[in-house]
């Protein structure tokens, strides 16, 4: 299957979906404090999406082949959880770090973005992991333009993460997105410059590196969804949805409180 090249109307709708996804993260930010449960975070986000925004939470009942339906509206991945954490009775406590991953559907188009949140004051190690992961996402984003290769993105992310003695999760990757939640291409967060698909203006995909403080190996919990580090080390992830343009890129998942890119 060829990779979708979005037209101006698709792009306009993806800007809207991307902004809405990011606005869910803005909305939930003040609630991320000690003693809230991940289920409460899910329920607040669910209400905001369905009642305030008129968006559909894409994760709810999402069931790719070989998976049981995802039972909640957002993913909450705490500490050693890498991704796809299912909101539940877990109470957030001071010092935890949590990734909140939001995917909304608006008028049939998907916007997908995640951020890391500190619950109270983070440890120096947790803060550093989250910052390095954020910077690695941005170094990947900055490779994007028509004529560049997917391998350029993966290489930028991997080399920065590994130069900080962290590891890159291999089993999950960024993905084409639009009318479909997880479409081609797969956007690996490791690789070699100049390899893989050549980018064209109008392609839209996510960049969402998962970086572990310890080894790269993963384990899936018996709930069939929650992915954790095998060595129980901390893991962090950030995600944006990106449009390829002729000379550069456009980040589609932006809103008032989107963290600014790190500069060199």
Residues found near Co ion in the complex (CB under 5 A): 101, 112, 206, 239
Residue 70 interface partner, choices ligand MF3, Co ion, none, CB cut-off 5-8 Å depending on type? ligand MF3
Work out whether 81 is an interface residue with ligand MF3 (CB under 6 A): no
How crowded is the C-beta side of 65, counted as CA atoms within 13 Å? 1
Q: Which is nearer to ligand MF3, 30 or 64 (CB)?
A: 64
At its nearest, how many Å lie between ligand MF3 and the CB of residue 257? Answer: 19
| CB-closest chain residue to ligand MF3 | 59
At its nearest, how many Å lie between Co ion and the CB of residue 101? Answer: 4
Work out whether 42 is an interface residue with ligand MF3 (CB under 6 A): no
At its nearest, how many Å lie between ligand MF3 and the CB of residue 212? Answer: 17
Give the residue, chosen from 15, 19, 84, 110, that forms a contact with ligand MF3 under the rule CB under 6 A: 84
Give the residue, chosen from 10, 40, 56, 62, that forms a contact with ligand MF3 under the rule CB under 6 A: 62
Work out whether 143 is an interface residue with ligand MF3 (CB under 6 A): no
How far from 103 is each of 24, 132, 224, 253, CA to CA, in Å? Answer: 9, 23, 20, 10
Number of residues that bind ligand MF3 (CB under 6 A): 12
Taking the CA atoms of 66, 69, 71 and 74 in sequence, report the sign of the dihedral they define.
Answer: positive
Helix spans in 80-184 (H): 124-141, 150-163
Work out whether 213 is an interface residue with ligand MF3 (CB under 6 A): no
Work out whether 59 is an interface residue with ligand MF3 (CB under 6 A): yes
Q: Residue 42: is it exposed, middle or buried by C-beta count within 10 angstroms (0-12/13-18/19+)?
A: buried
Work out whether 111 is an interface residue with ligand MF3 (CB under 6 A): no
At its nearest, how many Å lie between ligand MF3 and the CB of residue 176? Answer: 11
DSSP per-residue letters across 240-254: EEEEE-SSSEEE-S-
At its nearest, how many Å lie between Co ion and the CB of residue 230? Answer: 22
How far from 215 is each of 169, 211, 234, 256, 257, CA to CA, in Å? Answer: 9, 9, 10, 35, 32
Give SS3 for 172. Answer: coil
């Amino acid at each position: 299957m060829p990779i979708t090249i979005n037209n101006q109307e698709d792009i306009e709708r993806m800007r809207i979906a991307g902004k809405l996804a990011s606005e869910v993260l803005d909305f939930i930010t003040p609630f991320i404090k000690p003693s809230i449960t991940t289920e409460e975070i899910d329920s607040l986000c669910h209400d905001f999406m369905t009642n305030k925004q008129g968006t559909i939470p894409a994760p709810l009942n999402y069931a790719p082949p070989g998976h049981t339906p995802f039972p909640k509206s957002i993913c909450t991945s705490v500490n050693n959880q890498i991704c796809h954490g299912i909101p539940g009775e877990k109470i957030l406590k001071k010092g935890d770090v949590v990734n909140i991953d939001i995917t909304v559907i608006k008028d049939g188009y998907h916007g997908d973005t995640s951020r890391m949140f500190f619950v109270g004051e983070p440890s120096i190690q947790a803060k550093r992991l989250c910052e390095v992961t954020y910077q690695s996402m941005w170094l990947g984003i900055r490779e994007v333009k028509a004529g560049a290769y997917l391998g350029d993105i993966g290489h930028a992310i991997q080399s920065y993460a590994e130069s900080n003695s962290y590891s890159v999760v291999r089993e999950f990757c960024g993905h084409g997105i639009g009318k479909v939640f997880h479409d081609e291409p797969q956007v690996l967060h490791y690789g070699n410059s100049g390899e893989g698909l050549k980018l064209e203006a109008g392609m839209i995909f996510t960049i969402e590196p998962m970086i572990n403080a310890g080894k790269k190996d993963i384990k899936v919990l018996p709930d069939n969804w929650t992915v954790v580090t095998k060595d129980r080390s901390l893991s962090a992830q950030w995600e944006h949805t990106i449009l390829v343009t002729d000379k550069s890129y456009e980040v589609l998942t932006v809103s008032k409180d989107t963290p600014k890119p790190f500069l060199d």
